[in-house]
Amino acid sequence: MAIVELTVFGIPLILISAAMLGFFTAYGVGANDVANAMGTSVGSKVLTVSQAVLIAAIFEFLGAFLAGGGVTQTIRKGVIDPELFTGNLDLLIYGMISSLFAAGSWLIIASLRGWPVSTTHTIVGAIVGFGIYSLGAESINWSVVSNIAISWITSPVSSAIVAAIFYYICQEILMKRESKYEILIINFFIFLAGFAICLITITKGLKNLLKQQDFSLSFSDSLMYSAIGAGVFTLIFYYFSRSRFKGGDVNSESQFAYLMIFTSCAVAFAHGSNDVANAIGPLAAIYQATNQILNQPYELETPLWILALGGVGIVLGLATLGYRVMKTIGEKIVKLTPTKGFAAQLAAALTVVVASQLDMPVSTTHTLVGAVIGIGFVEGIKTVNLRSVGTIFTSWIVTLPIGAFLSILFLEIFINTFAY
């Protein structure tokens, strides 16, 4: 077919174009969603912007590369079944390219304005718009879309509740009282963060890296190995930090500032594992469709080079443009302290990891904003900047239809320009 006949060094030009757009969308994900991973650290003055970018760059890439494949499958074929395009794979390729272009464009616009929009909303809306426009509403897997929509409600609420509990423990037990269990509680929090990283790495990352060896572990074994890994994390942390927690000469807020560095790594890793799918899910579908047209073998699982491309794009986006949205999350909802930032980050990391276990592409924006608002409610509604929250909620509402509209617009342009 003409759509794949043009090649560069033997690689279909359409696949090269799709990879570039996938990178473009990943750049937008990094530019916008970096606030979710690191905005609280910067807003609470624990890390500078450059330090936050460095930490996030490492762990966002690791999360995307090691553990991003499962959610990518949901974006690639969960919202709309590629099998419906068996007789017209050209249309599938045009549609997924349009979805990438729509998502990347809106994310860049929003990032330049400092709006913390949901990248998940954007790409899911784009795919739904393309599917309805090309094949009708019946082509959409509405059960998957409804599950994703439910998660957009449950994830911020769950994160808010967990963050409020963590913050209450920090305030009432660790800061307002002299407790002999202080070190035990702090290390339990560290254990939870380490457990989140280990669980997502074992259940998602090792599966991706060792798929050729048919690697598999039962969920109970995964929990056991994750607990062991988290225990090692906790012992290492305690060894290097024990002097900071001895005696009463160290301010409690400074203690939590130290802890936030660790939880920042956990949030960045969890974010990379979940949100890379928003950028490369359509690219994975284009890769499969292109190989089907050429009658070439292809992998059912997302290829590692696609995961790596998404990881690099996210890192560059957060390094060059992420500071704008970072300021919104870190400074314009609740006045953050290290204690508040720590509770919000840990709650968000655990929420995103659970979602990734279920292959559910939740919005990290929702989980972090929900966590920060939950902490604000513990201190009183007056501490929450309701105007900023209203702006964020509005961006959540308009993002999905904007993604759908832009996808339809670009699809129409591509078809009229390249159809034959």
Q: What is the pLDDT of residues 148-193, one digit of tens each?
A: 777 778 888 889 999 999 888 877 776 666 656 677 777 888 888 7
In whole angstroms, what separates CA 103 from the centre of its chain?
Answer: 15
Q: Is residue 194 part of a domain?
A: no
Q: Is residue 20 part of a domain?
A: yes
Percentage of the chain lying above the pLDDT 70 cut: 75
Q: Given pLDDT bands bounded at 50, 70 and 90, which one contains residue 200?
A: low
- Mean pLDDT is lowest, of 51-65, 97-111, 329-343, for 51-65
Asked whether the beta carbons of 67 and 95 are under 8 A apart, the reply is no
CA distance 274 to 359: 8
**Domain carrying residue 27:** 9-180+241-418
CA distance 207 to 218: 12
CA distance 222 to 220: 5
- Alpha helices (runs of H) in 47-140, residue ranges in sequence order: 49-67, 69-77, 89-113, 119-135
Strand partners, 140: 80
Q: What is the mean pLDDT of residues 128-148?
A: 83
pLDDT at 378 over 60: yes
User: Among 228, 213, 283, which Cα is nearest to 69's?
Assistant: 283
Q: Which residues of 345-355 are buried (b: 16+ CB within 10 A; e: fewer)?
A: bbbbbbbbbbb
CA distance 25 to 307: 13
Q: Specify the DSSP class assigned to residue 303.
A: P
User: Among 281, 320, 333, which Cα is nearest to 64's?
Assistant: 281
User: Among 287, 280, 349, 289, which Cα is nearest to 308's?
Assistant: 280
- Mean pLDDT is lowest, of 311-315, 331-335, 356-360, 410-414, for 356-360
Asked whether the beta carbons of 259 and 186 are under 8 A apart, the reply is yes
Q: Given pLDDT bands bounded at 50, 70 and 90, which one contains residue 244?
A: low
CA atoms within 13 A on the CB side of 407: 31
Residues in contact with 385: Cβ distance below 8 Å, sequence separation at least 6, in sequence order = 332, 333, 334
How many C-beta atoms surround the C-beta of residue 278 within 10 A?
32
Q: Mean pLDDT across the chain, nearest whole number? A: 77
pLDDT at 321 over 80: yes
Number of domains in the chain: 1
Quick one: tokens of 281? 């899910």
Q: Given pLDDT bands bounded at 50, 70 and 90, which one contains residue 207?
A: low
- Alpha helices (runs of H) in 10-88, residue ranges in sequence order: 13-43, 49-67, 69-77
The pLDDT value given to residue 94: 83
The pLDDT value given to residue 274: 61
Torsion, Cα of 15, 399, 322, 342 (10° steps)? -120
pLDDT in tens, 259-310: 777 777 777 776 676 666 666 767 777 777 777 766 666 555 667 777 778 7
In whole angstroms, what separates CA 297 from the centre of its chain?
Answer: 30
Place of tokens 């390219």: 97
Quick one: tokens of 214? 């048919």
The pLDDT value given to residue 1: 45
Q: Is residue 226 part of a domain?
A: no
Q: Is residue 140 part of a domain?
A: yes
CA atoms within 13 A on the CB side of 240: 8
pLDDT at 249 over 50: no
pLDDT at 129 over 50: yes
Q: Is residue 347 part of a domain?
A: yes
Q: Nearest 5°: phi and psi at 36?
A: -70, -35
Beta strand segments in 300-376, E: none
Q: Is residue 13 part of a domain?
A: yes
- Mean pLDDT is lowest, of 62-76, 133-147, 295-309, 385-399, for 62-76
Question: From residue 412, how far is each of 183, 202, 417 by CA, in Å?
Answer: 60, 42, 8
pLDDT in tens, 20-52: 888 888 888 888 876 666 778 888 888 887 888
Q: What is the mean pLDDT of residues 86-99?
A: 80
Residues for the chain: how many in total? 420
- Mean pLDDT is lowest, of 39-48, 80-89, 141-150, 217-226, for 80-89
Q: Is residue 219 part of a domain?
A: no
pLDDT at 247 over 80: no
- Give burial (CB, 10 Å; 0-12/13-18/19+) of 195: buried
- Mean pLDDT is lowest, of 81-85, 213-217, 220-224, for 213-217
Q: What is the mean pLDDT of residues 205-213?
A: 55
Q: Given pLDDT bands bounded at 50, 70 and 90, which one contains residue 406?
A: very high
CA distance 333 to 347: 17
pLDDT at 250 over 50: no
Quick one: tokens of 276? 């890379």
Asked whether the beta carbons of 334 and 298 are under 8 A apart, the reply is no
Q: Nearest 5°: phi and psi at 384?
A: -95, 130
Q: Specify the DSSP class assigned to residue 171.
A: I
The pLDDT value given to residue 77: 55
Q: Is residue 201 part of a domain?
A: no
pTM score of the predicted model: 0.74
Q: Select, from the ranges 31-40, 83-92, 306-315, the one with the highest average predicted confidence (pLDDT).
A: 306-315
